[in-house]
Structure 1
């Protein structure tokens, strides 16, 4: 059984940009969502994946990911996925023994920047970088699957 333990945070400064080790641009879309899971297609310039993730709220969820042909993934994104597609650039930052993934969203979600850290256990401790803001792990509106139905561009100032 595959499990993901991930915490999600807002960013309060751009100080993280000086420590970026690698970046990749992603396009992703959701084929469907049922009460128990979501099915996502994600492509970069060279790779494509099909991802199934449990729809549970919180930091620990089931997740399965499979490599698929790039041409098939592009066709699924263009023909089958709900709109809008999620467009973002993911940046990797190493800090105090942990890898952070910083997602800078584009398109209908432009302006949203979140940091994620994957952990070995839900109670694992980690050092918070100075650029890290409020935790939003338990707020569904920040989940990528929710950003399809209600993009960041329509959020009120109070919701941001």
Structure 2
């Protein structure tokens, strides 16, 4: 079992776009319950099935398994809750850490968030100048929440 410790922030401006190459991601949820999520994600030519437990602070249990691309496409096309999350992810190194910036499309267009994975909840880290308000504990920004309440409806 893995453990994910992640903090999430809104992003201001667009200077960050010049700092990394974006990759298109498509993901859907077989289960989007707050107690557990089961996600299918396609990134490029690879696919993963991810199971996450309920968050406790910025921490939650996480398991990831590779799945055949054709199976992931079938899950997204036929089994996953709607809408499917489509976004471009930029991985941007900054002062020894990597920020993952997600630019959303479709029903979540206009939303841009940055996440940083930590080894401990109290770990200190530097924030680039394009990092704005922290939304780690705001469930509206969970990807699994964006399928029930897309950003375009806020």
Distance in 2, Cα, partners of 1:36 & 1:19: 35
Q: What secondary structure is seen at the aligned counterpart in 1 of 2:72? A: helix
The Cα offsets for residues 124-159 of structure 1, whole Å up to 9 and x where unpaired, read as: 10011111000000000000000000000100xxxx
Q: Is 1:52–1:63's contact at 8 Å kept on the other side of the alignment?
A: yes
Change (3 A) 1:35 1:12: closer
Q: Which residue of 2 aligns with 1:100?
A: 99
Aligned residues: 154
Structure 2 alignment gaps of length 5 or more: none
1:9 matches 2:23: no
Q: Single out whichever of 10-19 and 64-73 deviates more from structure 2.
A: 10-19
- Tell me how far apart the structure 1 counterparts of residues 32 and 80 of structure 2 sit (CA, whole Å): 11
Q: TM-score, normalised by structure 1?
A: 0.93
1:8-157 matched pairs, under 5 angstroms: 8-20=8-20, 22-56=21-55, 58-155=57-154
CA distance, structure 1, for counterparts of residue 34 and residue 127 of structure 2: 33
Secondary structure of the equivalent of 2:147?
helix
Distance 1:18 1:35, change over 3 A: closer
Structure 1 runs not aligned, ≥5 long: 156-160
Given that 1:93 and 1:100 are in contact with CA atoms closer than 8 Å, whether structure 2 keeps it comes out as yes
Q: Tell me the equivalent position of 1:158.
A: none
Instruction: Give the deviation of 1:58 after TM superposition.
Output: 3.0
Match of 1:13, SS state, is coil
**Root-mean-square deviation (Å):** 1.1
**Post-superposition, which runs of at least 4 consecutive aligned residues in structure 1 deviate over 4 A?**
none
Query: Tell me, what secondary structure is at the counterpart of 1:149?
Result: coil
